[in-house]
């Protein structure tokens, strides 16, 4: 729900507007089995370095055992100086970050200021806490503002932690191993990018739910460098996504043309006033 002002709070409790729609949809599927929500089964990581923040993510989205999207974008835009990586239920992370981004744009326009990372974190915390864990979004928020370079994690129940480096998602343990070993305060840009790349790579190698390419997003005072993909998977396939067949590929055996006779039943003329 878009708010006209971020300072307005929502009415308390859950929003049950979609219950009627969901029960109607259930009737449409055989056996009443609604499709399972798409989970990102992910590895995401972030590191604070000397001049800013580096965020990284893999690009695989899974639906149970099938890879549903090989080039999914898990680093979401929040504002010109803040980006957010999301793990958990794909729809939840997508919508939560979209909502946050639009509310922050309204705030920016109203106040004339670039939003601060703490503000984004507080809004997210309030939103997720209100839903008591039902919104399955594990988010890593990173950004640069007038108070410095910040990296926060927000959990699905609404817990917040501010950290210099972080990994989340199903591949987090593998990625954290690399980060714990290689992290130092005030890293240079290239070393920081390499550290994040190596940690996502470890997640991709050790976790079935993560894979394909690696995206990197570097945020500094000067601006944002969103490198998509930063590293491509060695296991690329050369399938065509679109298949076009020449007319005549399938032989035509017989052809029958039936003209449809239509009569004009009613004619009405309405003048449009364009003055």
Asked if 14 touches another protein (CB under 8 A), the answer is no
Burial class (CB in 10 A: 0-12, 13-18, 19+), 78: buried
- Coil vs helix vs strand at 78: strand
Question: Are 232 and 243 in contact, with CB atoms under 8 Å apart?
Answer: no
ω into residue 229 within 30 of 0, thus cis? yes
Question: Are 176 and 193 in contact, with CB atoms under 8 Å apart?
Answer: no
Q: Using CB under 8 A, which of the segments 74-82, 128-136, 185-193, 242-250 binds another protein?
A: 128-136
Size of the site for another protein (CB under 8 A): 20
For another protein, the binding residue among 88, 115, 142, 143 (CB under 8 A) is 88
Range 39-58, binding another protein (CB under 8 A) = none
Using CA atoms in the order 95, 100, 106, 107, what is the torsion angle rounded to 10 degrees? 170
User: Which residues are designated catalytic?
Assistant: 42
For another protein, the binding residue among 5, 110, 157, 236 (CB under 8 A) is 157
Is 88 or 143 the residue whose CB approaches another protein more closely?
88
Asked if 182 touches another protein (CB under 8 A), the answer is no
| Rounded-to-integer distance, Cα 192 and Cα 164, Å | 12
Asked if 211 touches another protein (CB under 8 A), the answer is no
Asked if 170 touches another protein (CB under 8 A), the answer is yes
Asked if 111 touches another protein (CB under 8 A), the answer is no
- Coil vs helix vs strand at 91: helix
Please give the residue ranges that form the binding site for another protein (CB under 8 A): 87-88, 122, 125-126, 128-129, 132-133, 138, 155-161, 163, 168, 170
């Amino acid at each position: 729900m878009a708010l006209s002002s971020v300072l307005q709070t929502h009415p308390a409790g859950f929003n049950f507007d979609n219950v009627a729609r969901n029960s109607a949809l259930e009737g449409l599927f055989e056996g009443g089995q609604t499709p399972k929500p798409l989970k990102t089964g992910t590895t995401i990581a972030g590191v604070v370095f000397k001049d800013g923040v580096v965020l990284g993510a893999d690009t695989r989205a899974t639906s149970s055992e099938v890879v549903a999207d090989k080039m999914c974008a898990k680093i979401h835009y929040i504002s010109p100086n803040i980006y957010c990586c999301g793990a958990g239920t794909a729809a939840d992370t997508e919508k939560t970050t979209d909502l946050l981004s639009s509310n922050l744009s309204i705030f920016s326009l109203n106040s004339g200021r670039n939003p601060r990372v703490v503000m984004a974190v507080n809004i997210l915390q309030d939103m997720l806490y209100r839903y008591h864990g039902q919104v399955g979004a594990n988010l890593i928020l990173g950004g640069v503002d007038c108070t410095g370079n910040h990296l926060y994690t927000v959990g699905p129940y609404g817990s917040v932690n501010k950290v210099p480096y972080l990994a989340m998602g199903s591949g987090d343990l593998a990625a954290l191993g690399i980060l714990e070993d290689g992290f130092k305060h005030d890293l240079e840009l290239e070393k920081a990018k390499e550290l994040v790349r190596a940690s996502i790579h470890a997640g991709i190698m050790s976790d079935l739910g993560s894979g394909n390419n690696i995206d990197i997003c570097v945020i500094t005072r000067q601006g944002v460098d969103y490198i998509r993909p930063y590293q491509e998977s060695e296991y690329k396939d050369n399938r065509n996504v679109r298949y076009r067949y020449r007319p005549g590929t399938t032989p035509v055996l017989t052809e029958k043309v039936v003209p449809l006779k239509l009569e004009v039943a009613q004619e009405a003329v309405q003048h449009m006033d364009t003055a």
